Amino acid sequence: MKPDTLRVRESVLLRAAVNGDRDAYREIYDIHIKRVFGLCFRLTGERGMAEDAAQEVFIQVWRTLSNFDGRSQFSTWLHSVAANVTISYMRRQKNWLQRMFDIESVTLAEPETSGCSSGVDLEKYILRLPERARVVFVLHAIEGYRHEDIATMLKIASGTSKAQYHRARQLLEDWMGAD
């Protein structure tokens, strides 16, 4: 479907969904679930958590769909909601794990280096980054958020966002350069 045709169709679906049409909302879900899940997965680094977070995203969107004002594309608004909901979900999960197991932090082993020549390999390396560095890297390098916006979402200083981004880049360069 052409982008303009998709936008018109999406606009019709959005109006119907705001008025409670669940079938229209299901179609919106079908259009966007892959991209939302991809963002959730890159942020969480775990398939199960990503599935749960994506589900929470669409529940939140259903509840707040009337707040979408149309000043931006729906996909832009949805993506922002997805990033915020996923980050909140990760915080809740981390707090639960810390209470359950009384852990301060989880460290990841460095990935094996056996030839990083494709985007799939890069994606695997990204998933191995420490959580905060991974989240900042995904939001900035892949999703295009500014450090100021990331800082607001994560409730950190802009300088911390920049430092985590550079930490992630350095780790990726080190891991990929070891090939």
* Token duo for residue 173: 């360069």
Do 100 and 160 sit in the same domain of this protein?
A: no
d(CA 5, CA 160): 41
pLDDT at 55: 98
Do 17 and 102 sit in the same domain of this protein?
A: yes
Do 1 and 73 sit in the same domain of this protein?
A: yes
Do 74 and 117 sit in the same domain of this protein?
A: no
Do 40 and 76 sit in the same domain of this protein?
A: yes
d(CA 4, CA 124): 34
Do 53 and 132 sit in the same domain of this protein?
A: no
Angle between helices 22-44 and 47-64 (to 10 degrees): 140
pLDDT of 111 higher than 70: no
Ramachandran sector of residue 142 (left: φ over 0; alpha: ψ -120 to 50; beta: rest): alpha
Do 43 and 126 sit in the same domain of this protein?
A: no
Cα distances from 171 to residues 130, 176, 178, in angstroms, run 10, 8, 11
CATH number at residue 113: 1.10.10.10
Do 84 and 7 sit in the same domain of this protein?
A: yes
Do 87 and 120 sit in the same domain of this protein?
A: no
pLDDT at 114: 45
Count of structural domains, the chain: 2
pLDDT at 14: 95
Do 98 and 22 sit in the same domain of this protein?
A: yes
Do 74 and 91 sit in the same domain of this protein?
A: yes
pLDDT of 176 higher than 90: no
Higher pLDDT, 85 or 176: 85
pLDDT of 39 higher than 60: yes
Q: How does residue 2 score in pLDDT terms, banded at 50, 70 and 90?
A: confident
Do 179 and 142 sit in the same domain of this protein?
A: yes
SS3 110: coil
pTM exceeds cut of 0.85: no
pLDDT at 56: 97
Q: Which residue, of 106, 131, 152, is where some domain finishes?
A: 106
Cα distances from 105 to residues 7, 59, 158, in angstroms, run 43, 30, 23
Show the domain range for 176: 108-179
d(CA 85, CA 172): 26
